[in-house]
Amino acid sequence: MTEKNWTKQGETFSHKNACKEFDLTEDQILSAMKSGDLDYKQNSTHGNPYYRLLRSEVQKLAKSIHGVSGLKYNKIKHDLKLVDKEINSLKRKLVKLEKEKVKLLESLSRT
């Protein structure tokens, strides 16, 4: 693969995120790495090692394991998790802003 694919934003991710996003096991990814089906680079963050993988190669692997319909299903399931996460984050922010609004209204009524 070209170096451009490794440096372009969104083209790589960790093997842990690949497992979550494409519903693969760590063993499936490691065996594909050993057989040469997946190119990888070893990195570490705060002393914790992980493998960087190319998204397009992981997608091909997931397609061969789960099939096209399984790949679409996992994509929808993953996107739904991301939407739920964002909704929960916004709910927490809304509660915080509502509390701040009450405090401001109380201080406004005292003046």
Cα 22 from Cα 73, distance rounded (Å): 9
Per-residue pLDDT tens over the stretch 19-34: 999 999 999 999 999 9
Per-residue pLDDT tens over the stretch 63-101: 999 999 999 999 999 999 999 999 999 999 999 999 999
* CB proximity list for 33: less than 8 A, separation 6 or greater: 40, 51
Q: What is the pLDDT of residue 1?
A: 45
Total count of residues recorded for the chain: 111
pLDDT of 107 over the 60 cut: yes
Mean pLDDT, residues 41-46: 93
The helix/strand/coil state of 1 is: coil
Q: What is the Cα 58 distance to its own chain's centre?
A: 13
Q: What is the pLDDT of residue 7?
A: 86
pTM attached to this predicted model: 0.75
Task: Name which of 22, 21, 9, 59 is nearest 37 in CA terms.
Answer: 59
Q: Return the CATH number of the domain spanning residue range 3-110.
A: 1.10.1660
